[in-house]
Amino acid sequence: MLLLRRQRDRAWTIDDVVQELRSSRFAIDTAVAALQGAGLISRSSDGLCQFWPTSPELERAAAGVEQLYAEKPMTVVRAIAEANEEKLRLFARAFRLKE
């Protein structure tokens, strides 16, 4: 999100984002879908992505995340990792056998 926000006039391909962030296609596809679902980015019919929050509140929230990341990057990274761990725990619980 921060990459797209910092260069909000640019429309990005998924491959461009993968290359810029040195990440995997799967991770970027997943992140783009989540950000689009949250109303933070738009994705055109030809697959180009751009930071495009659907409300002023989301714009302010994104600005807050950017500021926090600039001041305390590990806090943001830790929050993202913990959120992903919780999703994995919930997913694993779905497969537990009921007694």
* Token duo for residue 77: 């990274």
Amino acid letter, residue 63: A
Here the tokens at position 34 are 């989540």
**For tokens 């994104």, what's the residue?**
62
Q: What is the CATH number of domain 2-93?
A: 1.10.10.10
pTM: 0.77
Tokens of 93: 């619980």
Question: Which residues does 51 contact at the CB level (< 8 Å), separation at least 6?
Answer: 1, 4, 5, 7, 8, 40, 41, 62
What pLDDT digit, counting tens, does each position of 19-63 carry?
999 999 998 998 999 899 999 999 999 999 999 999 999 999 999
